[in-house]
Structure 1
Amino acid sequence: MAWIVLVISGLLEVAWAAALNASQGFSRLWPSVTFFVTLALSMGGLAYALRTIPLGTGYAIWVSIGVIGTALIGMFILGEGFSLPKMLCVVLIVSGVAGLKLLS
């Protein structure tokens, strides 16, 4: 159960990062509200997951899901540009996360 909560919390990290961008410096109400709600849920889920998952592994996976998700949103939705070197870096992150999961 902790692993499922950790993955959901990582996805919520992507949501709060996207909402933070959309809030335009907290000048827009609903993206700002979305940011704070998803941030609280993400942190709460991470705290729950870390009760049974080691800190280094859990935090690394949580952050990695956020990094991968926000990078993909930036490249494919926000038009920040796609390149093979960027995708290689995303693949390296995914490989590291998979390695952490397999070794824990």
Structure 2
Amino acid sequence: MSTGWLWLLAAGVVEIAWAQSIPPTQGFTRPWPSAICLALCVAVIYLLAMASKTVPLSTAYVVFTGMGAIGAVALGLALHHDRLTPGRLLAVGLIVGGVVLAHATTEHA
């Protein structure tokens, strides 16, 4: 796995953490949760920028948003007791398939 893909993996993980950090800010009215949220947002942008040095941005963004979506669904199921419906399962399967296809068809430097 190239360095760009490792940067992208890190960006996806931080993206999931960043999304989970938004609700505790309560509309950015709580200083510390807001500061954490903003710091994670900056980290996500930095990591995605580093990944896009060697991974085409179009591919990087598809993989990045896919990881964020899958992470949000997984955490919703695990932490917030969201229901796993056939439609949600199909959506996750399509996202995973798209991410795998984007990775498999990207020309590597």
Q: TM-score, normalised by structure 2?
A: 0.87
1:61 pairs with 60, 63, 66, which one? Answer: 63
Query: Aligned residue for 1:71?
Result: 73
Structure number with bigger Rg: 2
Deviation at 1:82, TM superposition (A): 2.1
C-alpha contact 1:68 1:90 (8 A) present in aligned 2: yes
User: What does residue 102 of structure 1 align with?
Assistant: 104
Q: What is the Cα-based RMSD across aligned positions, in Å?
A: 1.3
Counterpart CA distance in 1 for 2:44 and 2:65 is 11
Residue 51 of structure 1 and its aligned partner are, at CA, apart by 1.1
Identity, in percent, stands at 32
Residue aligned with 2:83, SS? coil
Amino acid at match of 1:69: G
Could you tell me which runs of 5 or more consecutive residues in structure 1 were left unpaired when the two chains were aligned: none
* C-alpha contact (below 8 Å) 1:61/1:97 kept by paired residues: yes
Say how many residue pairs are matched: 104
CA shift for structure 1 position 29 = 3.1
Secondary structure class of the residue paired with 2:22: helix
- What are the within-5 Å matches in structure 2 for residues 13-32 of structure 1? 13-32=15-34
Give, in whole Å, the separation in 2 of the partners of 1:100 and 1:50: 14
What TM-score, normalized to structure 1? 0.91
Runs of 4+ in 1 over 3 A off after TM superposition: none
Deviations 1:62-102 (A, max 9, x none): 11111110121122212232222212211110111001001
Runs of 5+ in structure 2 lacking a partner? none
Deviation at 1:33, TM superposition (A): 1.9
